[in-house]
Chain A
Amino acid sequence: MIGMNIFSNKHIAALLVVICLSWSSCIEEIDLTVPGDLTDSLAIQGRIEKGETSSKVTLSVSNVFDFTSESRNSIAIREAFVVDESGTRLELERTDVTSYERVITDDEMIVDYGRSYKIELTTLDNRSYESQFDRLVPAQVPGSLELEKVNVLVVDNLDNFVEEERIQLNISSDVDPDTEGGLLWEVEQTFKMTDSPTNPRIDMKTCYITEPVNADKVNILEPSQLAVGRVENYPLLTAEVNFKYNQGLYFNVSQYSLSPEAYEYFRQLKILTERTGNMFDDPVGEVVSNFYNVNDPSDRVYGYFFATEGEVIRLKVPVSITGELTDYCPPPVNNPRPDGSCPYGICCDCLAEPESTLIIPEYWEE
């Protein structure tokens, strides 16, 4: 599996859906009660990312959400460690309710290609979990990003097909076909936003807000399946131009290396995200996890821990793509609601947004 849309059954689904919609609506929401009892199951996710001077381990633990409010309870961990193949154990530090991390220097633990790492953790109710070791493979240097305008077919509120313009972000890169494992691309966007608080006593400020985009798409590539040592114009995302582009927006693409086992995990995620429910769909299944309960093999654990190295490449969306845009704030009508709250939150206080900062990113160019 190369990781791209090769012979996606989604194509067939598209045709069937389009034909159906042409004659009458064929997709409808229905009420269906689903079974389930996953309240005790955990989802554990982590990665160790090699850096130039230091490496960083991140870990998050949560209950699996089983569509009940009880499962939203957070999980408290007694302790969590990153362990390398030589037995070095380093404890992770808690950063918020469910997240842990640690920046590792070489004198604490050697993080290098070919070496393997794992996670060990214990919950407050003394359940002990471990991941399998995952081996670090080197990253490949990403090539370049490119934007283009594309027309896509969307269904409007009246079930009519209409064409709309989108921008598409593509990556081109040299890839060594002999590389084992695969590549994972994660895309974030950082946009500039100057707010206009309704309270005149609060000063306006300019924020730089970073957020993941296209989170429901898994972009992976298996180099060994390539005919040539290069991938050209691999489409990473298709997006609609909105207010976030008004003062400038950067796409930040991280290209991560994956071991063969980690690549299989993301391949399975990709299959699930591309299902549409048609007759030729790949069937669903339980995504592999490399975590397990040390004392109770019947305890189902979800999530994955992997070792990786990432390289980041960026592209600012040019005016030639978006056209001339004016500032989003203040909006035409920005009167406070009766309760005093701001109707356009981001214009009232841009710093309140997650991952928002007033510090201009070092790569930012006006």
Chain B
Amino acid sequence: MNKRLLPFYLALLSLLIVAEGRTQSTDNALTVRLQGTTLDAVLDELNTATQLTLYQNVKSDLNYSGQRDFQQMPISDILDQVLENTFYSHISYRDYGIVIVDRTVIDQEFSAAYYEALGEQVDNGEAAQVIGDISRLSPSGSAIISGIITDVQTGEPVIGATISVEGMDLGAVSEVDGSYELSVTAGTHEIQVDFIGYADYRALIDVKSDGQYNIALDKGALELDEVTIRARAADQSVESAQIGVQTISMNTIKKLPTFMGEVDVVKSFLLQPGVTTIGEGASGFNVRGGNVDQNLIMQDETFIFNSSHSLGFFSTFNSDLIDKVDLYKANIPAQYGGRLVSVMDVEMKDGNFEAFKIKGGIGPISSKLSLEGPIIKDKVSFIGGFRSSYTDWLLNSLSEPELQKSSSFFYDGNFRMTIKPSPNHSIALSAYKSQDDFEYNEEFGFDYSTQFGELSYGWIISDNLFSKFSAVKSQYDSRQSDLDGIDASTVDTQIDYVKLKENIKYIPSEELELNVGVSTIQYDVNPGERNPLDDESVITTKLLENEKGRETAAYVNAQLGLSEAIEIDGGIRATYYQYLGPKTEYQYSDESRPTTAGIIGTELKDGTIQSYSVIEPRVSARLKVTDEASIKAGYSRTSQFISQIFNADSPTPTSQWQLSNRYIKPLRSHNVSIGYFKNFKDNEWETSFELYGRQIDQLFDYQDFADLIVNEHIETELLDGEGRAYGAELSIRKKAGKVNGWLSYTYAKSERQIVGINDGEWYPSNFDKTHDVSLIFNYNPNQRNTLTANINYSTGRPTTPPVGNYRTSGGLIVPIFSDRNALRIPDYFRVDLSYTLGKGYKVDQKFQTSWVISLYNVLGRKNPYSVFFTQAPFNLVQANKFSVLGSVFPSITLNFELL
């Protein structure tokens, strides 16, 4: 008998029990003629004839040459004769089951645990993962399960993972090679595997005897439709001590409705509470009332300074290469620094060490292709991906000659090689390059690119001590070109940096995990260089001096479980920032308020021109009030030493990055949050309610009509002040079932107080949206088909309207505006739909395809991006709304996989 039939037998047994009402008995007489030539075939015939259930695990190659015909003979007697000359015997279980086991086992004394396991075997209708077989269960009723815990993506062993059995004081920790061993009583258990950085793993196992059970941990959130054994919904939201962490599985992201078929990791987070944008096509995102440049966007250990393609319509991340995305929006762990508000941590996949795989996708405006596999099996792997747009067909198909002479092109490419010279050492080499070229009617254009290389070296020093070193070299270049007329010219900006980081992880006990590290970042910024495009241009060359800065930090972060109920995740980060020369520094008559008129001279300085030292405590704590509910609270101090300079609603690709210096102080904020997290129905429903507040005690805004392009004394355009943001977030999420999805609601305020603006009174920031609601509805009638609806509503953001005007002698109407951001544009409402036809069920099929059909803005609603005012008759003004997208955008994308 084949072991693969075991589940079938279990299921059949259950059905038979139900169907027969348990009326059969092993003492009932039976007439049967057996025709099989092997023992297992004969037992199969007997099983069919008896309407009882024979549970057996008999070798398939044993010949049968015994008696063939039985007339009105009790089943137990028939079995006695059939098994007479074999190593097997049989025992009855209650009055409806028979188990065929080794004679050696049968002759021993059976424990209560044995019978309990046997009973579970027969009664259990649930398809728990079966380990071992009941015929080999030791009479003690206990069994040893062993196996290897590995990373599902890389196949790499996971060291130090804790495996435990719910309701029992049992546990084990995986060894250096990922192996573990656990002694349990036979029967059905729920096991749980925890390891930092991996999704919580839970599964039902049905232990029959000693056996092997390998576990593959996923760094991403649990992908419900890919769980092969029954896994209960993770209770990470309740269990984790970190507050304000948002994770969306890549599987969910790929099913969300998209604009023009482009899966967008960054935009997907806009559906989470506390994450907003000022409008379609805008670059970046706003977290809890923060500016877009106050988010740290990381691809592994590399900062991304512009995560947008096509001026903001798409993100630069290729979704096929992403392992996991986390957004820390409240309490940023001490390992991260340099931004005020949030961290989006995008972890890229390692290549497969075992087999080659090709993935790709074809959409209406872009296509992508990725390849991964072993270079040296189990030692060296690679993964590479390339994505490129082809929007020209779209522009050329339009009737406007200007658009036909326009182009918009982008590409991005990733490559990563992972080397494992030994089980305790791993090296990863990554490279990335993206490019955007955008030109309109041969009149103007934007070109910008990001490129970086990253080296990381992981070392397992001992069972509980791990080291990771990383080195990054990155460069972001941008060019804005005016191609036409006498002022044809270019403006270039650039930001380079080198980053070194060492992190030591120490796990002295199950209750404590320590992360200690140091990092240093050396920035080199070209704030602007303007050049005439050709000889006919009247533009003069203007080159600003490069700026240099160094940000050095040391940190320690501890995860400490004080008790079952209380866990603390806290640490401290100390940063020393230096603004470095050589650099010409302007001197002002009033240093506290630099103005152009107040310039009294310049001085060339070298070495450390200005330095700032900051201490940033970060702590988050969890109090578990029940098994499915917890209260969390967090506080963090954050600082930011590099900011993007733009005073429009959204930064352009060429908006320069400005280092903190003598006059431009680092941004600093206090962040607090508290929340109640409650899961229901075995973690199938997840709810949370969070309150947050942020006080930014050092902030700048821009004076009216600030001149920000290639300005050598940019500080004269800035005004100092402070900011505050506060709000409440509610999230209700159904994680499993045919119908799932989530609802998130955010109430938020984001305000500023700047000397020189609105008479020093508090005013709403450009991205202040009081109410924001997202509803995501998924219908999965089966694993392959998914229908997703996304409904989004938000309050209109602030704007500054004209409140009057006057006419100049030349006839020009000069508008007079209200206090800054005194009015709101109309509210935003959008509905999207998508249908995903997933991969086929045949898991061994080499070539698989899936389709995603999206309808973005299905109501065709012309949501206002902004409102502007034009002159109307009788000297009045007319409000006009500007909508970036004014209709429904359908798209269809084909994804494929070649295994």
Write the residues of chain A forming the contact surface with B, with a CB cutoff of 8 angstroms.
1-2, 4-7, 9, 11-12, 14-20, 22-32, 34-38, 41, 43, 45, 47, 58, 60, 62, 64-67, 71, 153, 161, 163, 177, 186, 212, 215-216, 218, 225-228, 230-235, 267-269, 271-273, 275-288, 302-303
* Chain A residues closer than 8 Å to B707, beta-carbon distance: 1
A66-B804 in contact (CB<8A): yes
> Which A residue sits closest to B446, measured CB to CB?
A12
Shortest Cβ distance from residue B479 to the other chain A in the assembled complex, whole angstroms: 11
The answer to whether B590 has its CB under 8 Å from any CB of chain A is no
B279-A267 in contact (CB<8A): no
The answer to whether B109 has its CB under 8 Å from any CB of chain A is no
Shortest Cβ distance from residue B807 to the other chain A in the assembled complex, whole angstroms: 8
For B650, B705, B817, B826, the residue with the greatest tally of chain A CB atoms inside 10 Å of its CB is B705
Per-residue A-contact encoding for B529-572, CB less than 8 Å = 1, 0 else: 00010001111110000000000000000000000000000000
B887-A24 in contact (CB<8A): yes
* Chain A residues closer than 8 Å to B866, beta-carbon distance: 277-279, 281
- Other than A26-B886, A277-B882, give 5 A-B pairs with Cβ distance below 8 A: A12-B311, A30-B864, A34-B803, A275-B868, A279-B648
A232-B809 in contact (CB<8A): no
> How many angstroms from the CA of A16 to the CA of B406 in the assembled complex?
12
B809-A45 in contact (CB<8A): yes
A67-B801 in contact (CB<8A): no
The answer to whether B171 has its CB under 8 Å from any CB of chain A is no
Per-residue A-contact encoding for B430-454, CB less than 8 Å = 1, 0 else: 0000000000100110000000000
> Which A residue sits closest to B711, measured CB to CB?
A1
Q: Which of A32, A177, A273 contacts B812, CB < 8 Å?
A: A273
* A-contacting 9-mer, from B35-43, B88-96, B393-401, B498-506: B393-401
Q: Which of A45, A276, A279 contacts B650, CB < 8 Å?
A: A279
* Chain A residues closer than 8 Å to B541, beta-carbon distance: 227
* Chain A residues closer than 8 Å to B652, beta-carbon distance: 9, 12, 280
B702-A302 in contact (CB<8A): no
A212-B811 in contact (CB<8A): yes
Q: Which of A26, A47, A228 contacts B862, CB < 8 Å?
A: A26
* Chain A residues closer than 8 Å to B867, beta-carbon distance: 30, 32, 277
The answer to whether B403 has its CB under 8 Å from any CB of chain A is yes
* Chain B residues closer than 8 Å to A286, beta-carbon distance: 704, 816-817
* Chain A residues closer than 8 Å to B802, beta-carbon distance: 34, 284
29 A-B pairs (CB sep. < 8 Å) = A2-B539, A7-B491, A7-B709, A20-B883, A20-B884, A24-B862, A26-B882, A29-B879, A30-B867, A30-B879, A30-B880, A32-B825, A34-B823, A34-B879, A35-B803, A35-B823, A36-B804, A37-B803, A43-B814, A60-B809, A226-B540, A231-B538, A235-B485, A272-B814, A279-B312, A279-B648, A280-B652, A281-B649, A282-B648
Shortest Cβ distance from residue B472 to the other chain A in the assembled complex, whole angstroms: 30
Known contacts A35-B822, A215-B811, A232-B538; decide if A267 and B440 are in contact (CB<8 Å): no
Known contacts A271-B705, A283-B702; decide if A302 and B816 are in contact (CB<8 Å): yes
* Chain A residues closer than 8 Å to B813, beta-carbon distance: 215-216
Shortest Cβ distance from residue A271 to the other chain B in the assembled complex, whole angstroms: 6
* A-contacting 9-mer, from B10-18, B780-788, B870-878: B870-878
List B residues 807-863 near A (Cβ within 8 Å).
807-818, 822-823, 825-826, 860, 862
Q: Which of A5, A34, A303 contacts B806, CB < 8 Å?
A: A303
> Which A residue sits closest to B704, measured CB to CB?
A285
B281-A35 in contact (CB<8A): no
B540-A268 in contact (CB<8A): no
B868-A26 in contact (CB<8A): no
Shortest Cβ distance from residue B647 to the other chain A in the assembled complex, whole angstroms: 5
B814-A11 in contact (CB<8A): no
* Chain B residues closer than 8 Å to A32, beta-carbon distance: 801, 823, 825-826, 867, 879
Known contacts A32-B867, A153-B402, A302-B806; decide if A27 and B880 are in contact (CB<8 Å): yes
Shortest Cβ distance from residue B655 to the other chain A in the assembled complex, whole angstroms: 9
A27-B704 in contact (CB<8A): no
The answer to whether B665 has its CB under 8 Å from any CB of chain A is no
A283-B806 in contact (CB<8A): no
The answer to whether B805 has its CB under 8 Å from any CB of chain A is yes
For B401, B541, B876, B882, the residue with the greatest tally of chain A CB atoms inside 10 Å of its CB is B882
Shortest Cβ distance from residue A201 to the other chain B in the assembled complex, whole angstroms: 35
B538-A226 in contact (CB<8A): yes
Ranked nearest first, the 6 interchain pairs of A and B with the lowest CB-CB distance are: A285-B704, A277-B868, A36-B803, A215-B811, A43-B806, A227-B540
B539-A227 in contact (CB<8A): yes
> Which B residue sits closest to A11, measured CB to CB?
B444
* Chain A residues closer than 8 Å to B699, beta-carbon distance: none
* Chain A residues closer than 8 Å to B864, beta-carbon distance: 30
The answer to whether B98 has its CB under 8 Å from any CB of chain A is no
* Chain A residues closer than 8 Å to B491, beta-carbon distance: 7
A284-B539 in contact (CB<8A): no
* Chain B residues closer than 8 Å to A43, beta-carbon distance: 806-807, 814
Shortest Cβ distance from residue B785 to the other chain A in the assembled complex, whole angstroms: 30
A29-B816 in contact (CB<8A): no
* Chain B residues closer than 8 Å to A288, beta-carbon distance: 704-705
Q: Which of B812, B823, B825, B883 contacts A27, CB < 8 Å?
A: B883
* Chain A residues closer than 8 Å to B281, beta-carbon distance: 16, 279
The answer to whether B365 has its CB under 8 Å from any CB of chain A is no
Q: Which of B487, B806, B826 contacts A62, CB < 8 Å?
A: B806
> Which B residue sits closest to A218, measured CB to CB?
B812
> How many angstroms from the CA of A146 to the CA of B815 in the assembled complex?
32
* Chain A residues closer than 8 Å to B311, beta-carbon distance: 12
A25-B878 in contact (CB<8A): no
Q: Which of B489, B703, B805, B882 contacts A278, CB < 8 Å?
A: B882
For B278, B400, B804, the residue with the greatest tally of chain A CB atoms inside 10 Å of its CB is B804
Known contacts A227-B538, A272-B815, A302-B814; decide if A282 and B804 are in contact (CB<8 Å): no
> Which B residue sits closest to A161, measured CB to CB?
B400
* Chain B residues closer than 8 Å to A215, beta-carbon distance: 810-813
> How many angstroms from the CA of A284 to the CA of B801 in the assembled complex?
9
Known contacts A277-B880, A280-B648; decide if A269 and B814 are in contact (CB<8 Å): yes
The answer to whether B630 has its CB under 8 Å from any CB of chain A is no
> Which B residue sits closest to A267, measured CB to CB?
B705
B440-A15 in contact (CB<8A): yes
